[in-house]
Structure 1
Amino acid sequence: MNVKICGMTSLEMTRDVIAYNPDHIGFVFAKSRRQVSPDAVQWILNQLQEEQVRIPHTVGVFAHVDTELLKPVIQSCTVQALQFHANDQLDKCRWVKENSNMNVWLTLPISNVDRIDFEDELNHQFERLSTAAPYIDLLLLDTHDPVQGGGSGKVFQWDVIPYYQSRAKQIGVPLYVAGGLNPDNINSLLSRYELDGVDVSSGVETDGSKDMSKVDTFIGRVRQHVRTRRSLPLS
């Protein structure tokens, strides 16, 4: 199970977070209080390489973006994946694959809808995804926010996760979960669902800045869950 720590904003923060061995780090290119420019991210990555720091898999996070704005990102920044929101960004998946070697992560916004309407919403989402599926490397569930799409720091109703796991398996991609995760609730999530990965940002912050004790605790609890699972006898 992989861990992504998102919202790196400085060299010092990125270096400190990497010390706790996350599998992915995320840089937010979308409008946000954590927004950083592709040039700034490339500078951070270059500095870490000069310091011979082992850099985990890097993800550049967008919400809604025009293709023209992606071109300089691909040309100037060596992040390994670009993350988009599914609502109106499906055309970007193919474009990125045809114009770069980057992976494509697609965020599926989860609304806390009535269960009567849920299956209709799920079917609609994956009908729209069908044409983009060959160009998607990973699906990420995050709580829907009407303003920014995701990144709200709020938890969605986890009981929908198995439905999305089944659909992700059908198209052959891993499924990660975000949305309000933190050191206090991560064990509850992992005790209920076997996930491919988890993604956290504000849940490991204090007063708007990454708190390394929370980063350490969050990653440690995920790693402990994996160790415990591996030690269990096969049924």
Structure 2
Amino acid sequence: MPSVSIDLNSDLGEGFGTWTLGDDDAMLELVTSANVACGFHAGDPAHLLQTCRAAVANGVRIGAQVGYRDLAGFGRRFIDMTPEDLFADVVYQIGALDGLAQTVGSAVTYVKPHGALYNTIVHHEKQAKAVVDAVVAYDPTLPVLGLPGSVFLSLAADAGLRTVTEAFADRGYTPEGTLVSRREPGALLSDPAIVAERVLRLVERAEIVAVDGTVVTVDAESVCLHGDAPSAVEMARAVRSLLTERNISIAPFVS
């Protein structure tokens, strides 16, 4: 049976310099876990520190959102990296964010890959293993967040890491349970009411309707609400309101 408690996570800290992306302050009042950028796909030290400080003020858990070193492409382009280089990049990112988080009385409590890296390691074993090895080397007590059925979560479990499955409130799904490419129709959802009902069905019945109408089973401990969509805050409010109305507990997956 699906859990009556769910974590809500969001990608935050993605501003850079004078550029602001999304309303992090508003999202941090609604979610329970913050996937904070680590400076490779987005974010600069000042933005990341500010996001960590705001997360602490709202009792939100901080996760390291590690990605490819691709500021120009926002980490949404595949990079054919060697496992050795990817390992080093992931350790570097976790350590950088963890250092910032500790200055405001917190720490990195989990790791979630971002964008193209997230999608790549659903199937790419060498890159998935590099990410797993990096987390184990940095702190083997850190949980990892990923797509159910992914190679990444399988290798992470084999390595002794706690694996946390997630679903996406505002992303289209294929019949195979993977995410529809952002370049394809149906990749993004933006209607708060539709998204809220979708999350409710996910939590209560472990189901998501794919773009072709297929009902896909998705058993998730956490639901991602992207913070950079135009209606991100409205969607998050609608989701939280409906779940609360149905007496579903909203709590982080890490204590």
TM class by shorter chain equals 0.5 to 0.7
Shift of residue 156, structure 1, vs aligned partner: 0.5
Structure 1 counterpart SS, 2:58: coil
For the pair 1:99 / 2:122, whether they are aligned, the reply is no
Q: Which amino acid aligns with 1:82?
A: V
Counterpart in 1 of 2:110? 81
Q: Which amino acid aligns with 1:74?
A: I
For the pair 1:139 / 2:165, whether they are aligned, the reply is yes
Q: Is the 8 A contact 1:93 1:136 kept in 2?
A: no
Q: How many matched pairs?
A: 177
Q: 1:108 aligns with which of 133, 136, 147?
A: 147
Q: 1:18 aligns with which of 20, 28, 33?
A: 28
Q: 1:69 aligns with which of 83, 86, 89?
A: 89
Q: Could you tell me how far apart the structure 1 residues matched to 2:168 and 2:27 are? A: 22
Q: Is the 8 A contact 1:59 1:82 kept in 2?
A: yes
Q: 1:188 aligns with which of 184, 195, 198?
A: 198
Counterpart in 2 of 1:217? 238
Q: Which amino acid aligns with 1:140?
A: E
Identity of aligned residues (%): 8
RMSD, aligned CA: 3.8
Shift of residue 56, structure 1, vs aligned partner: 0.5
Tell me the TM-score normalised to structure 1 length: 0.57
Q: 1:36 aligns with which of 43, 63, 76?
A: 43
Q: Could you tell me how far apart the structure 2 residues matched to 1:31 and 1:99 are? A: 18
Q: Could you tell me how far apart the structure 2 residues matched to 1:6 and 1:215 are? A: 12
Q: Which has the higher contact order (CA 8 A, sep 6+)?
A: 2
Q: 1:217 to 1:57 in 2, by over 3 A?
A: same
Deviations 1:73-93 (A, max 9, x none): 333322322212323222322
Q: Which amino acid aligns with 1:91?
A: A
Q: Could you tell me how far apart the structure 2 residues matched to 1:102 and 1:30 are? A: 23
Gaps of 5+ in 2: 1-5, 70-85, 99-107, 179-186, 207-219, 250-255
Q: 1:101 to 1:45 in 2, by over 3 A?
A: farther
Q: Is the 8 A contact 1:39 1:77 kept in 2?
A: no
Q: 1:217 to 1:154 in 2, by over 3 A?
A: closer
| Structure having the larger proportion of residues in helix | 1
Q: Could you tell me how far apart the structure 2 residues matched to 1:55 and 1:100 are? A: 22
Counterpart in 1 of 2:222? 197
Deviations 1:147-184 (A, max 9, x none): xxxxxx641047859xxxxxxxxxxxxxxxxx746522
